[in-house]
Every structure is written in structure tokens, then in C-alpha cells.
Amino acid sequence: MAEAERIIGTPDITGAEGSGETGPDGAAASPDAVTPDGQDTGATAADADAGADAEAAVDRSPAARRRRIILLFCVAVVAYLLDLGSKMLVVAKLEHQEPIELLGDWLKLDAIRNAGAAFGIGEAFTIIFTIIAATVIVVIARLARKLYSLPWAVALGLLLGGALGNLTDRIFRAPGVFEGAVVDFIAPAHFAVFNLADSAIVCGGILIVLLSFKGLDPDGTVHKD
């Protein structure tokens, strides 16, 4: 009997040789087998591949970064010039005049000088708000070095343009350097008077919050929690 088995040989089990693992009944394990803790190893690998593809899809070339930086500064320049031009017009035509009604009592143009932060907050801390605005500008400039996300470029551009607009007032307007009062003129009913720089800052801040909730970083990385 032993001699017969030696001559015939042991039958090959293809599945066992291919996978190296067998199930409880001796069958070869499937490539999409479920791990003992209930996780699908095939699905996990697919998710990892998808994440790698998404990471690879982010264009991190120097040219891509330059385009995002150019977009950031274009948005900032547009926001800054709109704010500066509107303030110059308001000071020349509207200051010391009766408010102009745009929508009756709901929306008016009423020129005021604000020594505080956005929307007239904290008038006793003009120098502090000036330092904060300058710090925001520096932080945005540092973030621009690793900027590859288009939405972040728009958001940071709005923040930069708004901060520069109000900082210009604080430096060059009375009563003095770094103590100047900001020109506000948009006066909705039952709300604080503000300007276009304040609007740009708020819009940029809201966009940054939304991008953060979506898990999108300035460098284009997407976090999925």
C-alpha cells in the first residue's frame, strides 16, 4: 500500500498552494475573505487605493501653486480696491450729509467713523485690532507658501483684501497712525453699520469654516473622518 502511494504520489491542492490558507472545511480562503473581527479586507484595500488616487489627483507642481497664489492676490486686490474706492466716494459725497435710503428704513447708506473692530465692536481697542489685522496678513502670506486649493485661495484672498482695507484706514486716517477710524457706511435696519472690507472678511471666514467642515486643507489634502 505504501509502495502504491509512493508511485502514484500525493494529489496537488491548487487552492491551498495559491493562497496558503484554508477554511475550517479545508477549502482555500477567498481573496475577499472577511477577517476575524468582521472587517472586509477587500473593501479596506479598495478604500486605501481610492484615498491614494485622491491624493495623487492633487496637482502639487510649482506652477499649480503659483496659479493659486495669483488667484489669492487677484481676489485680494479686487476686494481691496472695491473697499478703498467705496470709502473714498463715501467720504467725498456722503459724510456729514443725510443718509441715503436704498430700501426705505431697511437699508441706508450712512457714513460714520468707527474706531473699533468690524461692525463697531470694541472701540477702546483700536491699536489691538490694528495689530490683529497685521497678524492676519502675515499668517495668510505664510499659508500661501503651501497653497494648492482653489477654494482656499478665494477664501484667503477675501480675508487679505478685507484686512488690508481696514488696516489702510487705521494707518492713514485720523486721529493718527495705527489709531485711525474705519469708514463704515452700509446701514441695515436693526444691525451695525459696516463696509465692504467687513463683508469680505465675513465671507472669507464663512468659506473657511465650510472648507474645514469638509476636511479640505489649504494644500489640497482631504481628511475623511
Q: Contacts from 44-49 at CB under 8 Å and sequence distance 24+?
A: none
21: DSSP letter: -
CA dist 166 and 181 (Å) reads 9
- Residue spans of alpha helices (H) in the chain: 2-8, 14-19, 41-57, 62-93, 126-143, 150-172, 196-213
- What is the set of active-site residues? 184, 198
Query: Do 177 and 171 contact (CB within 8 A), yes or no?
Result: yes
CA dist 11 and 52 (Å) reads 42
Closest to 80 in 3D by CA, of 215, 201, 210: 201
The backbone torsions φ and ψ at residue 114, rounded to the nearest 5 degrees and listed phi first, read -115, 120
9: DSSP letter: -
**Three-state SS sequence of 179-208:** CCCEEEEEEECCCCCECHHHHHHHHHHHHH
